[in-house]
């Protein structure tokens, strides 16, 4: 980037994203698309695609659950990670 080799950097991000798609690399690629003055639709599509990658990550994260109990007039709240388990019955 510092050498202004934006086209080469864009090509490298494509290669990296083909091997492993990450939100950080996709975001960097979107920035490069902007710097390269690509059409506005390409920029918007890139960020929309990246937003969907973030959503996919969030959907796969364990959810926080809250447990509230009352004892002696005090309300106590505990938080725990909900763990998804695959159970094979075979």
Q: Is residue 10 part of a domain?
A: yes
Q: Is residue 77 part of a domain?
A: no
Q: How confident is the model at residue 83 (pLDDT cuts 50, 70, 90)?
A: low
Q: What is the pLDDT of residue 88?
A: 53
| Three-state DSSP class for residue 77 | strand
Q: What is the pLDDT of residue 90?
A: 47
Q: Which domain holds residue 12?
A: 6-60
| Three-state DSSP class for residue 74 | strand
Look at residues 2, 7, 3 and name the one whose alpha carbon lies nearest to residue 36. 7
Q: Is residue 15 part of a domain?
A: yes
Q: Is residue 26 part of a domain?
A: yes
Place of tokens 């864009």: 10
Average pLDDT, integer, range 2-6: 78
Q: How confident is the model at residue 2 (pLDDT cuts 50, 70, 90)?
A: low
Q: Is residue 56 part of a domain?
A: yes
Q: Is residue 66 part of a domain?
A: no
Q: Per residue in 63-78, pLDDT tens?
A: 766 667 777 777 776 6
Q: Is residue 73 part of a domain?
A: no
Q: Per residue in 17-56, pLDDT tens?
A: 999 999 999 999 999 999 999 999 999 999 999 999 999 9
Q: Is residue 71 part of a domain?
A: no
Total domain count, the chain? 1
């Amino acid at each position: 980037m510092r050498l202004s080799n934006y086209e080469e950097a864009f090509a490298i991000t494509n290669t990296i994203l083909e091997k492993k798609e990450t939100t950080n690399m996709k975001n960097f690629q979107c920035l490069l698309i902007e710097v390269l003055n690509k059409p506005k639709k390409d920029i918007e599509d890139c960020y929309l695609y990246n937003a969907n990658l973030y959503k996919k990550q969030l959907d796969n994260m364990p959810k926080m659950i809250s447990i509230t109990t009352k004892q002696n007039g005090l309300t106590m709240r505990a938080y725990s990670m909900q763990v998804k388990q695959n159970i094979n019955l075979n």
